[in-house]
Amino acid sequence: MSKVSEMDASRPRLSCLLYGESGTKKTRSLLTVPSSLNVKILDFDNGAFFLKGKPGIEVLTFVDPPPIPKGSKEAKTKGPLAWQRGRDEIISTLLRPGDTDLLVVDTITTISNAIVRAKLEEKGDPYAQPTLQEWGAVIRELTSVFSMCLDPRIHVIVMCHEEVMQSNEGGVIGYRPMVNGRKLPNQMPNFFDEVYRAVERGGEYKWQVSKASGALAKTRLGMGFANTGVIVEETGQQKVEKFILQSWTKVFKRLKEEFNGAVP
């Protein structure tokens, strides 16, 4: 019987957005997920191949073939595209988890691009410039995915690439998740309880868990604060940056402590 079906619906779930630039070990950090959890990874980046076959981990890959230009004599892609198949898997897993305890979506950045691709394929020209109406449809579909993370039946981790925000003079003024849309990147943290930014500091891979230095980050579990016993580093002058070593084991342990052991 599924662990999820045995759990009371009122028990807390982890709902986390993890973003960062390429090479900050976002996907590899999943090796630190507690072995007691059954994990399903929906891989839109084609980067979770090294996790296939690991005990307790299921990896499903959703990658589109290269688009075929309008007017080409080559046969067009048959069947649903990556986003259409991936969307159905996200919905079915969240509504009917079965044995899945943790759903990982890797990454929402690639999904964002895949939705645009699907919209353009519908009108027969994958290289066309999206219209305002098509951009609006993309934002609505992305928002629908995030909305399902507000009160999930199982634990959810959504990964995302990072966008570096620059001033007119070229200086770095902040960091935020990279998705299509003018307002959506700054709105994404509203859909998650935990928002971590993956970084490399001094040869170690860490998660920034506090909103400082222009980075979007937050923790309702108090990760990185002294009373949790997992504080690693504090830097900065005006606002304190807090970093913890990358470890999902510590996050789930903290979740269990915070809610008196009411999670698997």
Query: Between residues 36 and 263, which one has the greater pLDDT?
Result: 36
Asked if 223 and 258 count as a contact pair (C-beta separation under 8 A), the reply is no
User: For residue 102, what are its two tokens?
Assistant: 């943790």
State how far the Cα of 185 lies from the Cα of 176, in Å rounded to an integer. Answer: 6
What are phi and psi for residue 199, nearest 5 degrees? -140, 165
Q: Looking at residue 157, what is its pLDDT? A: 96
Please tell me the predicted confidence (pLDDT) of residue 212.
77
pTM: predicted TM-score of the whole model, two decimal places:
0.86
**Residue of 199, 112, 198 lying closest to 157 (CA atoms):** 198
Report the C-alpha gap between 106 and 49 in whole angstroms. 12
Structure confidence at residue 76 (pLDDT): 60
Domains assigned to the chain: 14-68+79-258 (3.40.50.300)
Q: What is the DSSP string of 54-96?
A: -TTEEEEE--PPPPPPTT-SSPPPPS--HHHHHHHHHHHHHHS
- Residue 262: its pLDDT value, please? 53
Report pLDDT digits (tens) over 24-69: 999 999 999 999 999 999 999 999 999 999 999 999 999 988 777 6
Q: Which two tokens stand for residue 215?
A: 């980075």
What does the pLDDT average to over 210-219? Answer: 86
| Averaged pLDDT, 170-181 | 86
Query: What is the pLDDT at residue 251?
Result: 94
**For residue range 115-149, what is the model confidence (pLDDT) as tens digits?**
888 888 887 787 888 888 888 988 998 898 888 88
Between 153 and 6, the higher pLDDT residue: 153
- Kindly state the average pLDDT of the residues 181-190: 88
**Is pLDDT above 60 for 182?**
yes
- Which pair of tokens denotes residue 80? 């649903």
Instruction: Tell me 237's DSSP state.
Output: S
